[in-house]
Amino acid sequence: MRTTVRFWRWRRNALRRRSDRVEAWVVVVVGVLLWLGTPVAGVVAGVTLAAHAPRPGADWHRVTAVAVQDAPATPGTGWTTVATDSTHVRTLVRYTPPGGTPHTGEAAVPAGTTAGSRVPVWLDGHHALRDNPSDPAQTQARAVIFGLMASTVLGLVVVGGRSVVLLTINRRRAVALDREWARVGPRWGHHPA
């Protein structure tokens, strides 16, 4: 003997409440968002990150510069340093563009570079210092990580939203049951003999 009725929230019956229909639609929407939305969010986040990764422009060229001051041994220390990644810091360098005059500016150099060391830097078409372009393997790894993070965050938001909606539905059901019981309860069991 079968005791459960499949898809009962979708079938017409006298006991089906409006909240049952809302709950059925919540299940459908959550399923679609989890199975289709999270992978799409991950792919979009990864592709967007990869598309915006620093790449050398057509007019960029690489020159050798000389460090003017010692670079800190660890990224994120010192007043002139800003960590650009886990192995580079910003420090003052002197460089000479092709056919130009010497310039001084801040560039990303390996952590621990000493004053007087020669380091490669990137210049744009106007001979301004540019950040080092990203390594393609690092860019791809970051894109995958950010894609997974975006998928996970969307999944958590969807599941959390589902929980909030179902909690609200169940509270309204409880209030409706209390109201109905207050109306019917006093008459319960008072049958004339």
Buried b (16+ CB within 10 A) or exposed e, 1-37: eeeeeeeebeeeeeeeeebbebbeeeeeebeebbeeb
Give tens-digit pLDDT for 61-101: 888 888 888 887 776 544 333 334 567 888 889 988 887 78
Give tens-digit pLDDT for 129-184: 887 777 788 889 989 999 999 999 999 999 999 999 999 999 999 999 999 899 88
What pLDDT sits at residue 149?
Answer: 96
Report domain extents, the chain.
Answer: 17-55+134-148, 61-132
